[in-house]
Amino acid sequence: MGPRSDRSPIPFSVIVSIQAPGASRYSRQNGPMDLQLLALLLVVVALLVWRAVNRERREYAQFKRMRATKRRQRTMRRWLIESTLVFGGLSATVLLATWELVPVALADAQAWEPIAASRAFFLDGDVGRILVVAGWVLLAVAILLPFLLLRDADTEDVPKLGDIGALLPRTRGELPYGAGLALSAGVFEETMFRLALPTLLFGIGLDGPLAFAVACVLFGALHLYQKWVGVLTATLLGVVLAYLYLVSGTILVPIVVHALIDLRSLVLLPLVLGKVWSKP
């Protein structure tokens, strides 16, 4: 037998209790918690899918046939309240259950080579920083240019992201609800699909990049009421917004971009081209 070490052996219980930096007791290795997160995921997805298929699709079809602005305003007001409560409530519930995993999921996705390379380019290099500024300028141009080119055209002639024509405010009274829906979507949909849901998916065992990809697919699928063009457009938009979050590291960037895109459609377009301010 060889010589005995002077150091006492480290107890096994101490070894297994050591965690990686940034990990929490709610890590993916914790089996019982994984089951709780899986149950929460099933409830959230089931509720969102049911709402999209059996409710939003049917109600949106009815809304497209409405002509009286009072009825349209009541429906838009109800949608605004419901979307805030549903997406806001679900996001808060998920984040309360997974809050300690948020930075872990973000770091795991940011470690993916394409995202890591993008972060190094845009955040650390002078050229990348210039392109970031140019990107914000291009976003503003993309939002405003159609109105300059088609200022004498009808709202139907302006390109839209999906089947959202019926959502465009038609009177001055509908305009605040259009703005509310745009801001609500920007804040609560991004909180759900770029922050809460990917973290929840990460918590049940998916790798960071895959968790964000699945969340983007679900985000697109829930736009089924806008037909397949809307589903595809929303999915691609979700990928772009997820990329912005992962590269920037802050949820505020996709929230602002999403809100600006929706404000362009639901406020600026009807205000400038539809002349809704003159229609009580």
Higher model confidence: residue 69 or residue 20? 69
Q: Give the pLDDT confidence of 179-209 residue by residue, as tens digits.
A: 999 999 999 999 999 999 999 999 999 999 9
* Burial (Cβ within 10 Å: 0-12, 13-18, ≥19) of residue 196: buried
Of the chain, the end-to-end C-alpha distance in Å amounts to: 95
Residue ranges in the chain assigned as alpha helix (H):
12-17, 31-50, 57-64, 69-98, 102-110, 113-124, 126-149, 175-184, 190, 197-203, 208-221, 227-248, 252-263, 269-272
Per residue in 105-151, pLDDT tens? 999 999 999 999 999 999 887 788 888 888 888 888 877 776 666 66
CB 191 within 8 A of CB 87: yes
- The torsion defined by the Cα of 242, 244, 247 and 249, in degrees rounded to 10, comes to -80
Q: Looking at residue 270, what is its pLDDT?
A: 85
How far, in Å, CA of 20 to CA of 61, rounded?
Answer: 51
pTM above the 0.85 mark?
no
pLDDT in tens, 224-280: 877 788 899 999 999 999 999 999 999 999 999 999 999 988 988 888 776 777 776
Residue 21's pLDDT is 37
With beta carbons less than 8 A apart as the criterion, state whether 173 and 73 touch.
yes
Tokens of 137: 């300028």
Mean pLDDT over residues 68-76, rounded?
A: 94
Cβ atoms of 170 and 69 closer than 8 Å:
yes
| Burial classification of residue 188, based on how many CB atoms lie within 10 Å of its CB (0-12 exposed, 13-18 middle, 19 or more buried) | buried
Please name the amino acid found at residue 110: Q
